[in-house]
Amino acid sequence: MPHVDGPELDAFRHTYRAWLAEHVPPDWRAAEADDPVAVSRAWMRELDGGGYAAPGWPVEHGGMAASLAQQIVMFEENAAADAPPTGLFGIGLNHAGSTLIVHGTDEQREHLARIRRGDEIWCQGFSEPDAGSDLAALQTRAARDGDAYVVNGQKVWSSMAARADWCLLLVRTDPSAPKRKGISYLLLDLRTPGVTVRPLRQITGSAEFCEIFLDDVVIPVANRVGPENEGWRISQTTLSTERGPFFLASVHALRDRVRDGVELLRSTPGPDGRPLASDASVRQSFARDAGEVEILAELYSQVLDSQMRAGHAGPEASIIKLYYSEVLHRLTGHLVDAVGLAAEVDGATLVDHLGSWGMMIGGGTNEIQRNVIGERVLGLPREPR
């Protein structure tokens, strides 16, 4: 991981580590089994009380104005202290927070305090059945009616929408304009009449993604972020939060999968009754995958170091997303192949592999990422339209 030390950072690390030692609930995992949302909300309130809930936000909005290096330190210390997760509030803290801070009105920014305290869970209503990688092709329609918009359409792949209170919604307000010019950005209260949220059961058995159906949903014009038909420009602020330190947790989790894979191969007997780890071909395949994980970690470290120097994320983040998804897919696939039917008993290995297919689609398909790398990183000509 990137170089994040020095006298000031060491002092910050010591202060935050001491705060975590005093405030992380020792029994939160037992409570999470009964009500994970309540545990996350309580931890958000605790973080907010300490001033740590939104480290990247400006101080005037309740944040810390923390540097990227400080945020990396906080991530490392959270993992070391086994702090409760805050992923349920990720869309609010990152996507909604950054967008409202830059583009929101004073009234809209009142959401910020509620997000920090864990009072509001947010989701994102961008993708549609026919507008995924080509997001600008979205067709959800918002017709102006006095001081409100009447919205009809469908969104899909909205993470945690079944638990969310509010939604960042892109809609088409001018169907006659070029597709990037006729989009507006609205804030949707998911309790509004006409909103139906349906979880999507995946092959892994989980259902964090949802469909959102909008039937004559009335949204006040006061809930529009920025000018009408400027939603595409504003959405770029939202999407920019998916870069930078976004993959820290994923890279650490991939390293954990390697350690778990070693134990799985040591404990699972092969056809000859000996542990699979004694098979040279299995060891060589796994060693290649483990090496790629370390290459990914080093590459990501370089990207973050570059971001800390430049002050912003670059298109190199597409390389991380592409490489991560393919390394995850190969590692888990090779483990499933080696373990065979025992993977269905182990469960976690098979679920990891099944879930890896989604990582090559979500957040911009790997094909789209290759276009970004070719055009923005390597400077190759754009493909013909």
Active site residues: 242
Residue (of 187, 324, 339) closest to 275 by Cα position: 339
Cβ count within 10 A of residue 317? 23
Q: How far is CA 292 from CA 245, 284, 319, 334, in A?
A: 20, 12, 14, 13
Q: Which residues pair with 307 in a beta bridge?
A: none
Contacts of 235 (CB under 8 A, 6+ apart): 126, 135, 170, 183, 185
The two tokens of residue 63 are 């944040």
User: What are the structure tokens assigned to 224, written together?
Assistant: 């529009």
3-state secondary structure at position 115: helix
d(CA 245, CA 221): 34
Sorted by sequence, the CB contacts under 8 Å of residue 189 that are 6+ apart come out as 165, 166, 223
CA 374, chain centre distance (Å): 24
Q: 324: buried, middle or exposed (CB in 10 Å: 19+, 13-18, 0-12)?
A: buried
CA–CA separation, 261 and 87 (whole Å): 25
- 320: Cβ contacts below 8 Å, ≥ 6 apart: 247, 296, 299, 300, 303
